[in-house]
Chain A
Amino acid sequence: MCGIVSTMTTTGDRPVAARVRNLTKTYGSGDAMVRALDDVSLDLVEGEFTAIMGPSGSGKSTLMHCCAALDNATSGEVWIGDRELSGLKDKELTRLRRDEVGFVFQSFNLVPTLTAEENILLPQSIARRKPDREWYDSVIDTVGIRDRLGHRPNELSGGQQQRVAVARALAGRPRIVFADEPTGNLDSQSGAEVLDLLRRSAGDHGQTIVMVTHDPVAASYTDRVVFLADGRVVDELRDPDRDSVLEVMARMSAPVAD
C-alpha cells in the first residue's frame, strides 16, 4: 500500500474543484470510538468524473458528505473552490450547497409536489436566480426528458426520476456534483442511461462529478477510482474498466500481510 500519497499529486496543471486535507472523522469516544475517516487527503480535479469505492463501512459515504458540506469533520480541511468549509455557519454552508454543489441521491430525489421542471429549477428559484435558458435547454436535451417536464415524480419511472435529479444537479452549473449510489435503485438499462449521462456531462461540459458506488460497472464509467478501506485511501485507478476495478477490489478483500 505504498505510493498512495504520490498518487495524490497526479493533478498536473488542471485546477482543483475540491480538496481534502488530513480529514478525520470519528464517532463516539473512548473504547467505543469509531474512525470513519482517518487522515484522508484527496484532490478532486475540475472536469473529472471520480468514483469513490470501498466495502461497507469504509467511510466512502462519510467522505462524500464531508466534501458536500452535509457533515462536519472532526479535524482536517475541506476546500470547495477557494473556500475552506470548517468554521462556516449553517447559513453559509446552505448557500454553498445551493450555489456550488449539486446532488444526486440513491432514492427519494425529488419533491413530490413539484413537476419535473419545477424540481430541476428548484435550487435556482430558491436562490431567486434566473436560470440560464440556453444552458437549461442543453441540460434538458442531454438528459432527454423534454417530454416529461410537466409531470410529477409519481408519474415518472425510476430512471426518469433519476435523470430529472441529474438535470437538477447540473442546471445550476455547480462547481461539483456529488452522486450517492445514483444507480442503486435502478434496473441495469436505466442505470446505464444515468451513468452515460454523468459520463457525458463530465466529458462534454467539463462538469466535476464525484460518485460513491460499490458497483464495478458503474465505476468503469469514470476517469478515476479512489478506493477506501477502514477510513483510509488505499488505492487508486485511472481510466478504469470493470476488470481492473474488480482486481483492486479482490486485492483489497484479501488478507494483507504487513
Chain B
Amino acid sequence: MFRTALKSLLGRKVRLLMSTFAIVLGVAFVVGTLVFSDTLSRSFTALMASTVGDVVVRPVGASGESEPSARTVDSSLVGELEGVEGAARVDGNVTAFGVFVVDEDNKVVGGQGPPAIGANWNDAPAGHDLEGMSVIGGREPERAGEVLLDSKTAGEAGYTIGEEVHLVTSGEQAVLRPTLVGIGGFPEGGSLNGATFAAFDTRTAQELLLEGEDAFTDIWVTAEPGTSQEELADSVTQRLPDGVEAVTGDEAADEAASAIQEAVGFLTTFLLIFAGISLVVGGFLIVNTFSILVAQRSRELALLRALGASKRQVTRMVMVEAFVLGAVGSTIGLGLGILLAMGIRTLFGQFGLDLSGQPLIVAPRTVLAAYAVGIVVTMVAAWLPAHRTGRIAPIQAMRDDVAMPESSLHRRLVVGVAMIVAGGAALAAGLMDVVPRPGWFVGGGILLVLLGVAAASPVISHPFLAAAAWVYARLFGTVGRLAGQNSLRNPRRTTATSSALMIGLSLACTMAIVGASAKASVDQTIEENFVGDYVVSSLFGQPFSPRIARDMAEVDGVDHVWAQRFAITGSGEDSQGVAALDPAAFEQGIDLTMVDGSAGALRDGTVILDEEYAGEESLSVGDTYDVVLADGPRELEVVGIYAENPILIFPAVTTPQTLIDAGYRDADNFLIIDTDGSAAVQDDLEALVADLPIVTVKDQQEFAEEQRAPIDQLVLMIFALLGLALLIAVLGIVNTLALSIIERTREVGLLRAIGVSRAQLRRMVTLESVVIAVLGAVLGVVMGIGFGVALMHALREEGLEVIDVPVSQLAMFLVVSLVIGVLAALLPARRAARLDVLKAISTD
C-alpha cells in the first residue's frame, strides 16, 4: 500500500506541487515569525551579556532601568577594589544615553528606540571573558577632543578616521565636534541592535556625561581564572560602602535584558499573535487544497476499493501520502521560513531595530512546530475527505459525476453561529474588563468569531454569491453566468478560499480603524489644548540642555518659555512618570482647572496630581504621595488636584528643583513658547537650535504631525506583516482556482469545443476569482469594522475618544481585493485557456 501511495503521489506532479505549496506557505509563516521572535529576544540577551563585567558594582537601586542612573559611585572605589581576592582587574565605567551622532547632512544617525550611548573607553573584558567591543581601526580616544565610534554608526554617518564628528548631547555643552580617532567593533560578531556608541577617554566622559564629577556610573571587576562570579561578588561586597552594591554579571545582564525585553515585549507578543494568524490562514489553505485533491481522486480511490482494498487501507494510503507531503512541505517551509525571518529582520531594520549582526535563532521548538503544523494539519486535512470517500459505495464513486457526501450545511451553520456567539461574548467580556487577562479574551474572541464566520460562511455567504451571480449574468452575459454558477456550485470551497483573505483583511481593517482613531484622538487633544504658539521638543523625548530655554526666553517677541521635564520613578510595574514645571507657569498662562487645592501652592517637595490618578491612588490634598526617586523613596505633599490636561504629560507634577535634588540631571524635555505673534520669531527660535538636529521648534500643526508619526509607523509595520498574510490568501485563491480548473478539465474542453473562445474562458476564470476575493474582502471589512469599533469603544476610557472609520482606506481594501482577484486568476486562467481541446474532452 505504501508503494501505491508513493506512486500515486508522483503520478500527479501538478497536484503534488500545488498541495505541497500550500503546506510550505503555511509552515514558512509560522517558522518565520518564531525564528524572528527568538532572534529578537536572544539579541537583547546577547547584547546585555557583552555589557556587563563578571561583577558589577553600582549604586543600590540603579538596576532594571532602561536608562543608566544619574547616580554614581566614587572613583576612589576602583583603587580600593583592586586588592580584592580573585580580582584580575577593576575598571570604572561612565555610560549615559542621549549622545547623538549627527551625520554630514545634519541628520541624527540611528532610529527610534535603540539608545544613543555615550561612554568612556576601556577594554575591560565582559563577563565570562567575552570579548566586548574592541578597537578595529585607529586607536582608542586618549584626550579631550577625541572620540571613538562603533563601525556601523561611523559608516552610516560617513565619518572616517581623522575627520571631525558632529555630536549632540543633552548636557550643558550641547554640541561637540571631536575628532574621530578610532572605530570600535565586535571582531567575533555581534551588534548593538541599532544603538549608536560614542566613546571618550574617561576624564572627558566624566566632564561631558557626569558634569565633571570624578566618579563612575558603575565599576566592573574582572575575575581571575578559577574564581566564580559569585565568589568574587561576595568578596567585593565586603569592601563596599553603604549605598553601593555588587551583583554578578549574569544577574545584571538578566536584569537589563528583561527590562529591555519588557519594553519591546509588545513586539514579541504581536509576532506570536501573528504566527497564530499565519497558522490559521495556512491551515485553511492546506485543508482546502487537500479536500479538493481527495475529492478529485474519489474515483481512483473507489477503484482501489473495488479491487479489494479495505476502507481502512484506502484511508491509510491517503494518510501515508499526507504524511509524506507534510514532511516534505514542512522541510521546504522550514527553509522558506528562515528566509522569511530574514525579510522580517530587514523590515524591522527599516524601523531602526537593527539585528543584522545577530545570527538567526532556529530553536528546536521552531523545528518541532514546523513539522507538527505541516504534518498534523495536512493529515487532518486529508483524513476528513478520505473518510468521506470511504462512505460511498465503490461503484457509485467510479461513476462519472459523483456527489461527495458532505457534512450538512445546516450543521456547519449551527456550529459557526455558536462559535460567533461565544467569540462575541468573550470579546465583549475582554473589552469590558470584567475577566482576568482581558487581552486573551479579546484575542481568543476575535479568533473564535473569525473561525465561526468561516464555518458558517457557505450558508451566510449564499446571498452574496447569488447576488454576484445575478450581477455577473447581467453584466457579462453567458460568460458571467457560467462564472457566477461556478462560484455557487461548491460554496464550501469558494468560502473556504475566501476565508483566508477574510482573516487577513479583517485584521488589517481593525488596525486601520485603530490607527486612524488614535490619530484623530491625538489631533483632537492637541487642537483643544495647545497652549502658546510653539513647542520645542526633541527626538525620542530626549532631554536637552536647560540653556536652550534660557536662550529662547531672550529672543525678541517671546513672552514666556515654560520648560517641562520628565522623570520615571520606581521600577518595573510600579514605575510612574512624573513631570516637573516651574510653578510660575500656572500664573503666566498655563491654565489648570483645579478640582481642589491650588497650583500656585506648588513648591519644592510638593506635588499636584491629575484628578483621575489621584482617585486611583486615593489621594487628596494634604496627603503624602510616596514615590521612589533616583536617590531613593521620597514623600511629596499633595497640594492640588487638577482636571485632566494633556499639556501635562504625566499625572503627577512637581518642581524642577525637586527632581534635581533627587539626583536627576538638569535637563529639559519639552518647552512651550508663548510669543507676541510676530512671524519672525519661529526663524529666530530655530536659529538657536540649528546645530542641534535632535531639538525642533514646531507650531501646532507640525506638532500634531509629529505626534501622529509613530502611530503611522506602527500601523505601517503591522500592515507590512499582514501583507504577508494577504499574500498567502492570494496564493490560496490561485491554488483553489488551478485545482478547480484541473477538476473541470472536461467541462472546459466542452466549452471550448462548442465555441467558447480563449478570451471568454479567461474572463470566466477571472470573474470567478474576483467573486472569491471580493467575498473575502467584504466579510473581512465588515468584521474589521466591527472589531475596530468595539476596540475603540473599549479604549474610550483610556483617552482615545474619537472613533474614526477611514472610509477611503477601507474602500481601497475592497479595490485591492478586486485587483487581487484579477491577479490570482492570471495563471489558472492562462492554464485553462491553453488546455488542448481534444485532450481536455477525453480526460477522465
Contact = CB atoms under 8 A, between A and B. Distances in A.
Contacts of B838: 65, 70-71
B486 A127 contact: no
Interface stretch (A33-41, A94-102, A191-199, A239-247): A94-102
Given A71-B838, A154-B401, A126 B755 contact: yes
Nearest to A96: B755
Given A103-B753, A123-B755, A125-B478, 13 more contacts: A70-B838, A71-B838, A90-B757, A94-B755, A94-B758, A97-B753, A97-B755, A102-B754, A107-B400, A113-B486, A113-B489, A122-B754, A168-B754
Interface string B469-488: 00000000111011001101
A91 B760 CA distance: 11
A127 B755 contact: yes
B841 interface: yes
A105 interface: yes
A112 interface: yes
Contacts of A102: 754
Interface in A76-117: 90-91, 94-95, 97-99, 102-103, 105, 107-114
26 contacts: A68-B753, A70-B837, A70-B838, A70-B841, A91-B757, A91-B758, A94-B752, A94-B755, A94-B757, A95-B757, A98-B754, A98-B756, A99-B755, A102-B754, A105-B753, A108-B841, A110-B750, A111-B482, A111-B751, A113-B482, A113-B485, A113-B486, A118-B481, A122-B754, A126-B479, A126-B760
B760 to A, nearest CB: 7
Q: Which 8 A-B pairs have the closest CB atoms?
A: A98-B755, A113-B485, A125-B478, A94-B757, A97-B755, A123-B755, A123-B754, A108-B746
Interface in B487-537: 488-489
Interface string A127-154: 1100000000000000000000000001
B396 to A, nearest CB: 13
B401 A122 contact: no
B747 interface: yes
The interface centre, meaning the residue of B481, B753, B755 with most chain A CB atoms within 10 A of its CB, is B755
Contacts of A125: 477-478
Contacts of B841: 70, 105, 108
A114 B758 contact: no
Nearest to B758: A90
A85 to B, nearest CB: 14
B754 A97 contact: yes
A55 B401 CA distance: 29
Contact of A112 (B481, B489, B758, B837): B489
A154 B399 CA distance: 12
A154 to B, nearest CB: 6
Interface in B330-363: none
Interface string A219-236: 000000000000000000
Nearest to A102: B754
A123 B752 CA distance: 10
Interface in B355-406: 400-401, 403
B758 A122 contact: no
Nearest to B479: A126
Given A114-B482, A118-B481, A126-B479, A94 B750 contact: no
A128 B477 contact: yes
B747 A111 contact: yes
Contacts of A68: 753
Contacts of B755: 94-95, 97-99, 123, 126-127
B400 A94 contact: no
Interface in A35-63: none
A33 B750 CA distance: 29
Contacts of B747: 108, 111-112
A137 B532 CA distance: 86
A91 to B, nearest CB: 6
A107 to B, nearest CB: 6
Contacts of B489: 112-113
The interface centre, meaning the residue of B400, B489, B837 with most chain A CB atoms within 10 A of its CB, is B837
Contact of B750 (A71, A105, A127): A105
A168 B489 CA distance: 22
Nearest to B746: A108
A95 B758 CA distance: 11
Contacts of B760: 126
Contacts of B477: 125-126, 128
Nearest to A108: B746
Given A107-B400, A114-B485, A122 B837 contact: no
A103 B837 CA distance: 13
A71 B488 CA distance: 33
B102 to A, nearest CB: 66
The interface centre, meaning the residue of B403, B478, B482 with most chain A CB atoms within 10 A of its CB, is B478
Given A112-B489, A113-B489, A114-B485, A122 B753 contact: no
The interface centre, meaning the residue of B753, B754, B837 with most chain A CB atoms within 10 A of its CB, is B754
A110 B841 CA distance: 12
A103 B401 contact: no
Contacts of A113: 482, 485-486, 488-489
A109 B401 CA distance: 12
Contacts of B757: 90-91, 94-95
A128 B400 CA distance: 31
A105 B746 CA distance: 11
Interface in A149-183: 154, 168
Interface in B127-170: none
A114 B481 CA distance: 9
A234 to B, nearest CB: 24
B470 to A, nearest CB: 14
B752 A111 contact: no
Interface string B733-775: 0000000000000110011111111101000000000000000
A91 B752 CA distance: 11
A94 B752 CA distance: 7
Contacts of A103: 753-754
Nearest to A180: B841
A251 B747 CA distance: 39
A252 to B, nearest CB: 25
Contacts of A90: 757-758
A122 to B, nearest CB: 6
Contacts of A99: 755
Nearest to A115: B485
Contacts of B753: 68, 70, 97, 103, 105
Given A114-B482, A126-B479, A94 B756 contact: yes
Contacts of A126: 477-479, 754-756, 760
Given A91-B757, A103-B754, A112 B401 contact: yes
A113 B478 CA distance: 12
Contacts of A111: 482, 747, 750-751
A71 B751 CA distance: 15
A97 B752 CA distance: 9
B577 to A, nearest CB: 65
Nearest to A121: B478
Contacts of A65: 838
A122 B478 contact: yes
Contacts of B752: 94
Contacts of A98: 754-756
A114 B473 CA distance: 12
A102 B755 CA distance: 9
Nearest to B488: A113
A128 B841 CA distance: 24
Nearest to B760: A126
Contacts of B754: 97-98, 102-103, 122-123, 126, 168
Contacts of B478: 122, 125-126, 128
A71 B839 CA distance: 10
Given A94-B757, A123-B755, A108 B400 contact: yes
A27 to B, nearest CB: 12
B491 to A, nearest CB: 13
A26 to B, nearest CB: 16
